[in-house]
Structure 1
Amino acid sequence: MIFTSKKSDDSTIVELLASSLRRDIAFGTLLPDQKLKINELRTRYGGSNHSMRETLRILSTEGLVEATAQRGFRVTSATEDDVRDIQLVRVEVEKVALARAIALGDVAWEGRVMAAHHALQKAESMAATDPDDLVALEWDEACRAFSYALLQACDSPRLIDLHRKFFDQSRRFRLAQMREGRLDWTARRLRQKGLLDAVLSRNETDALRLLQEDVEAELRH
């Protein structure tokens, strides 16, 4: 029991550290290509050498951090090629998952999609008028929740895992567009409502088209 408890404590610390680093990468506090030194990270975020190394290993598998040839770590790059590639993968993965969800989803899934869309619209209204960091985080989570709800019924844990990974990689680009005032909130609202209507009516063609337009608009480079 002692070892189980210690393992659980370590896992919790790593999860908290990973969440903090993900947030700071998304907001640009940790810059693209920035070297990540264990001692400096521990001073800023806490944790032990072991927990910080495990955190960086996890973020490396998620594509947010890269291991360098000198066995150190750095934040991944954020070039136009990176944005283009993330956009490509997100579109392809999410279209496959959404097509399956439309075919397999039940009434309960439709309810979750509707609830997530409602929450997203409230978050978007706040973000459009008062885009401080807390509001931006809430908006980002609402975007994630709606995107996840759409795909949840695809019956493929691996597709969901790929979606999560590349959605996280796209966060800093989406947040940058929001904070720099480059998002068209009216167009987003109409597109998301159209996507919701297409999903509920099981119109796969329109749903996949609108999904692709939404991802491309968020990641316009």
Structure 2
Amino acid sequence: MFGRGQGADDDTVVAMLAAALRRDISFGVLPPDQKLKIEALRQTYGGSNHSMRETLRMLSAEGLVEATAQRGFRVTSATEGDLRDILLMRLQVEQLGLRMALEHGDVQWEGRVLAAHHALRRTEEALARGISDALALDWDMACRTFASVLVEAAQSPRLSHMQLKFYDQSRRFRLALLREGRLDFALRAKQQQVLVEAILTRNADAALAALKTYVSDDMGT
């Protein structure tokens, strides 16, 4: 009994550590290619050697951290080549997922799309008036939720998992655009509206074209 409880506690610690490191990698606190030493990370984020190592392995599976036998762990690179490759995978997965969602999605799914879009618009309207760390976090989560809802009706848990994996790998590029003031929120609003309207009318060709435009601009390409 104790063993099961201890295991659950360990899983909770790893999940919390992963969330903290994932956030700091995404926001550039832990920059690309930085070496990740377990003891130094423990001093900043807490946890045991075991939980931190498990956290780094989890982030390695997500593509945010790279593990090498001789050099330990480091934050993955964020080059132009990485950007193009992640964009390629996002488009492949998200367009397939949206096509399937349009085939299988019901009225409840449409409602979730509208709700996620509304939440995203609210955060982007607030960001257009001024940026804060808290608001940037809210916006980042709203973007992630909107992207995941678009494919959730595809009825493929593995596809949804891959969508979130590649989406999370793209977050650093999007947040860099935010920090550098390179996001056109008026243009994003128009792109999102076109996408949502195409979904609600079940116009697959228009929806897929709108998604391609939106995702490409979302990553600054």
Q: Do Structure 1 and Structure 2 share a fold, with TM-score over 0.5? A: yes
Taking the aligned partners of 1:71 and 1:173, their CA distance within structure 2 comes to: 26
Which residue pairs with 1:215 in the alignment? 215
Determine whether 1:105 maps to 2:105.
yes
1:29 aligned residue: 29
Alpha-carbon distance, 1:68 to partner:
2.1
Deviations 1:35-58 (A, max 9, x none): 000000001100000000000000
**Residue identity matched to 1:10:** D
What per-residue deviation string (whole Å, max 9, x for no partner) do you get for residues 165-194 of structure 1?
000000111011011110111110001011
Q: What's the CA shift for 1:218?
A: 1.4
Is 1:92 aligned to 2:92, yes or no?
yes
Offset from partner CA, 1:77-109 (integer Å, 9 cap, x none): 000000000001001110000000001100110
What residue is the counterpart of 2:121 in the other structure?
A: 121
Seq. identity, %: 57
Q: Take 1:70 and 1:44, find their aligned partners in 2: how far apart are those partners?
A: 24
Query: How many residue pairs end up in the alignment?
Result: 221
Could you tell me which residue of structure 2 aligns to residue 75 of structure 1?
A: 75
Cα distance in 2 for partners of 1:42, 1:128 equals: 36
Moved over 6 A (4+): none
Matched, 1:14 2:14: yes
Verify: 1:179 aligned to 2:179, yes or no.
yes
Cα deviation for residue 219 of structure 1 reads 1.2
Query: Aligned-pair RMSD on alpha carbons?
Result: 0.8
Separation (CA, whole Å) in 2 of partners of 1:138 and 1:147: 14
Alpha-carbon distance in structure 2 between the residues aligned to 1:22 and 1:89:
20
2:131 aligned partner: 131
Deviations 1:97-145 (A, max 9, x none): 0000001100110111111111110011112222111111100100111
Q: TM-score, normalised by structure 1?
A: 0.98
Partner residue, 2:197: 197
Who is 1:163 aligned against? Answer: 163
SS of 2:212's partner is helix
CA deviation after TM superposition for structure 1 residue 71, in Å? 4.8
Deviation track 1:13-54 (CA, whole Å, cap 9, x = no partner) reads: 000000000010011110100000000000110000000000
Give the distance between the partners of 2:71 and 2:54, measured in 1 at CA: 14
TM-score by length of 2: 0.98
CA distance in 2: counterparts of 1:20 and 1:58, whole angstroms: 13
Name structure 1 gaps, 5 residues minimum.
none
What's 2:38 paired with?
38
Q: CA deviation at 1:69?
A: 3.6
Q: Deviations over 1:186-218 (max 9, x none)?
A: 110001011000000000011001101111001
Question: Which piece of structure 1 moves more, 50-59 or 132-141?
Answer: 132-141
- Give the distance between the partners of 1:165 and 1:122, measured in 2 at CA: 25
